[in-house]
């Protein structure tokens, strides 16, 4: 197995793999640790704990809004990823919840972008997990977001509320971590309402009816009003140090569904506020 790992991951040196193996960070899927002498076994699932040299620390707290034996509903701050990825391993919402609860079997039922704040549903129970996945795949979850954007001339002049129904097609673009609206069959649908405005800036209520990556960001862009502090749209900006003072002004504000296990009707509201709008209205 040691030789396999070295061949399969050529940018990680053998000494690093030996250290990970010796410290129990490489194991079979059932939890049994391997040693540097463990023979290669084809088609068997192996797990290892990825490490990064310098992981960013996100200096904002998350909140657990609800927990029972099946689910956790957590409130995620801006900049914190939901699950490990890229340079984030331990500094993600999933890892924080595992530390908070002492529960290892926690799985995110859906995702938010790292830049987006708000509500995320997690499963704690493997037996009921599929029921909660089904809620999202069947469209049985009601989600509403808030966003702040600079207004077009037309939006500034119109009477409130202004509303748009957007239905188009979103596909992967280049580079592959961004998306684009393209011709073709509809796969992305949102309703957007401009509910308040002040000093040329608007507060929007967004209701996605599908779950394409960056859907709301692209739909706001299609209206000519990209979300404030968006580093992907309309222009992909070069990677730079995190600007904690300029979070993307997008918030997963409410989450509502009928619990598939208990039958209880749940409705959760994020505690977070969009800073750009709060700054405009604080007086």
For the entire predicted model, the pTM comes to: 0.85
Please report the pLDDT score of residue 12 as a whole number: 86
- Better-predicted residue by pLDDT, 148 or 32: 148
Please report the pLDDT score of residue 276 as a whole number: 96
Q: What is the mean pLDDT of residues 237-256?
A: 95
Mean pLDDT of the chain: 94
Q: Is the pLDDT of residue 230 over 70?
A: yes
Percentage of the chain beyond pLDDT 70 is: 99
Q: Is the pLDDT of residue 239 over 90?
A: no
How many alpha carbons fall within 13 Å on the CB side of residue 9?
A: 11
Please report the pLDDT score of residue 31 as a whole number: 79
pLDDT tens column, 174-183: 998 999 999 9
Please report the pLDDT score of residue 25 as a whole number: 84
pLDDT tens column, 185-215: 999 999 999 999 999 999 999 999 999 999 9
């Amino acid at each position: 197995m040691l030789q396999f790992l070295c061949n399969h991951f050529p940018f990680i040196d053998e000494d690093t793999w030996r250290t990970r193996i010796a410290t129990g960070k490489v194991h079979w899927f059932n939890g049994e640790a391997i040693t540097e002498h463990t023979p290669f076994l084809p088609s068997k699932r192996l797990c290892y704990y990825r490490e990064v040299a310098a992981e960013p620390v996100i200096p904002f707290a998350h909140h657990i809004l609800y927990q029972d034996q099946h689910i956790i509903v957590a409130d995620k701050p801006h900049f914190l990823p939901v699950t490990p990825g890229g340079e984030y391993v331990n500094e993600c919402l999933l890892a924080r919840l595992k530390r908070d609860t002492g529960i290892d079997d926690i799985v995110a039922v859906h995702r938010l972008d790292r830049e987006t704040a708000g509500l995320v549903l997690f499963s704690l129970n493997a037996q009921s997990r599929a029921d909660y996945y089904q809620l999202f795949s069947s469209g049985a979850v009601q989600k509403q977001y808030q966003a702040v954007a600079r207004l077009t001339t037309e939006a500034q002049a119109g009477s409130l509320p202004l509303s748009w129904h957007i239905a188009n097609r979103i596909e992967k673009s280049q580079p592959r971590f961004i998306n684009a609206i393209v011709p073709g069959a509809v796969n992305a649908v949102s309703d957007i309402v401009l509910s308040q405005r002040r000093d040329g800036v608007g507060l929007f209520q967004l209701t996605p009816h599908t779950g394409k990556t960056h859907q709301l960001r692209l739909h706001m862009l299609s209206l000519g009003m990209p979300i404030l502090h968006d580093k992907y749209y309309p222009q992909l900006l070069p990677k730079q140090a995190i600007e904690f003072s300029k979070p993307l002004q997008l918030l997963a504000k409410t989450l509502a569904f009928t619990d598939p296990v208990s039958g209880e009707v749940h409705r959760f509201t994020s505690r977070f506020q969009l800073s750009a709008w709060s700054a405009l209205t604080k007086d």
